[in-house]
Amino acid sequence: MATITLSHIAKAYGSEARVIKDVSLTVNDREFVVFVGPSGCGKSTLLRMIAGLEAITDGDLLLNGDRINDHPPKDRDIAMVFQNYALYPHMTVYENMSFGLKLRHVSKAGIKERVTQAARILEIENLLDRKPKDMSGGQRQRVAIGRAIVREPKVFLFDEPLSNLDAKLRGQTRLELQKLHRSLQATIIYVTHDQVEAMTLGDRICVLRGGDVMQFDTPVTLYNEPANLFVAGFIGSPPMNFLPGKLMGTGNSVQFESESGTVCLELSAHPHRDVYAGNRGRAVVLGIRAEHITDRPGTFSHSQSTTVDALEHLGNEIFAYTMLEGVRFVARLPADSVMTINNTATLYWQADKCHIFDAQTERRL
């Protein structure tokens, strides 16, 4: 059982501005929570504060309801996997994995049993006599996880553990981490700057920016209902397309009109039309994902004439790039699309899937 609660947590270095401003969230027992955000957003700092490696300036950190702000790392019963693994180069894999148990005076037989079991789970039994320098990045990463597992801690913290692996191995390890979470039934907090990792691993994702929580929710909610422009732009690949404009219309009708009037999108069928109708005249930013723009009409309500200036063929799909009022737009087209560069084409937008954000507050309407 391990529930972690962050209540108004803040962090400042000396008299400098706060790098973590006011973070409040709860990580439930056995939940896999991912902290994601761009470099410098404070995600690693937040993780290190939970681990006890950074002092907390303000707020309360609770583990199962007990305040642990002042507990040293060893008393928090938390294990951490570091970005560079932090495996001791002078120790073998077995010694690395057993180090914490030895310090805790676990019997030799107990150590052997736990290390062997963890090695079996991670399929590194044949590496136990090796030193870190004789292993690949992926193997080291497994050992680092093994070192965390053998202690059977209440909480696992992962600080960008896949960032040193190549793309293929990252994909494999992501799946293994999911399996591991299911088998360990442990509470995990995982830091990454890679939104694909965040989306695939997290039960819930906390998106951070400049020390603030932008949104903390499930991957599906983050994707379908981003709370603000930042989350909308950060989650999803390729990123969401944005176009500034205004909400217009009278009576039952509500439309989005871009600044130069090139795009006029009817929003009367949108699930949030009432909200939009109440904000007529407001400067907004329209957001639409690439997969909601296509080259064939179907149920897509809005047609937009444009010139495609670049195409990316990915085999199973095509990304078509255009410019609209000086803003780059990308559409995700089926692989069999017949589209040519520098020719006028009509693209169809699924208007009821678009998002409208307040231009000033950047919040979703």
Pick the binder of another protein from 21, 43, 140, 151 (CB under 8 A). 151
Burial of 225 (0-12, 13-18, 19+ CB in 10 A): middle
Which candidate, 202, 95, 78, 74, places its Cα nearest to that of 152?
A: 78
To another protein, the closest distance from the beta carbon of 26 in angstroms equals 22
The least CB distance from residue 175 to another protein, in Å, is: 26
CB of 158 to another protein, least distance (A): 13
Q: Of all residues in the chain, what percent are helix, strand and coil, respectively (each to 5)?
A: 30, 35, 35
Q: Please identify, using beta-carbon distances, which residue of 78 and 201 lies nearer to another protein.
A: 78
Binding string, 77-106, against another protein, x = CB under 8 A? -xxx-x-x-x-xxx--------xx--xx--
Q: Which CB atom, from 163 or from 200, has the smaller least distance to another protein?
A: 163
Site string for another protein, 277-316 (x = CB under 8 A): ----------------------------------------
Q: Does 72 bind another protein (CB under 8 A)?
A: yes
Binding mask 170-189 for another protein (x = CB under 8 A): --------------------
269 counts as binding another protein under rule CB under 8 A: no
Binds another protein by CB under 8 A, chosen from 8, 74, 182, 296:
74
Residues in binding contact with another protein, number by CB under 8 A: 21
What is the distance between the alpha carbons of residues 30 and 44, in angstroms, rounded to a whole number? 21
Residue reference for tokens 């360990």: 184
Contact present, 1 and 29 (Cβ < 8 Å): yes
- Strands 32-36, 204-209: pairing kind: parallel
**CA-closest candidate to residue 149, choices 210, 68, 101, 79:** 79
* Tokens matching residue 178: 């999911």
> In the bound complex, what is the minimum distance in angstroms from residue 90's beta carbon to another protein?
4
Q: Is 359 exposed, middle or buried (0-12, 13-18, 19+ CB in 10 A)?
A: middle
Token pair for 337: 């699309």
**Window 25-54: residues binding another protein (CB under 8 A):** 51-53
Summarize as ranges the residues that interact with another protein (CB under 8 A): 51-53, 72-74, 78-80, 82, 84, 86, 88-90, 99-100, 103-104, 147, 151
